[in-house]
Structure 1
Amino acid sequence: MLRKTRNEPILLNISKAFYSYSFIFYFLLSTRNEFIFFLPYV
């Protein structure tokens, strides 16, 4: 269990970066309905 905790911060950083960039693209491309329905599935 202790070894798995080392991988958690890395995954959290990747998840934060992913959601931050996805939110930026979602905000910039919100004018198009295609991306609004496409991003949630990604």
Structure 2
Amino acid sequence: MSQSSTSSPVENFTIAFDQTGNACTLQLSWENTQASVKFSEKK
């Protein structure tokens, strides 16, 4: 898991998924923090 600061405050807790090829990134954002986890299907 990686953590960073947001460029502007996020008022509502937000969960987002970004798909790239066979992998996906789960992004969690709230206030001034963004955390993300990359994962993919194990074959």
Same structural fold, with TM-score higher than 0.5 when normalized by the shorter chain:
no
- Structure having the higher Rg: 1
Give the number of the structure whose residues are more often strand, by fraction: 2
When normalised by structure 1's length, the TM-score is 0.19
The normalised TM-score by structure 2 is 0.19
- Higher-helix-fraction structure: 1
User: Does 1 or 2 have the higher relative contact order (CA < 8 Å, sep 6+)?
Assistant: 2
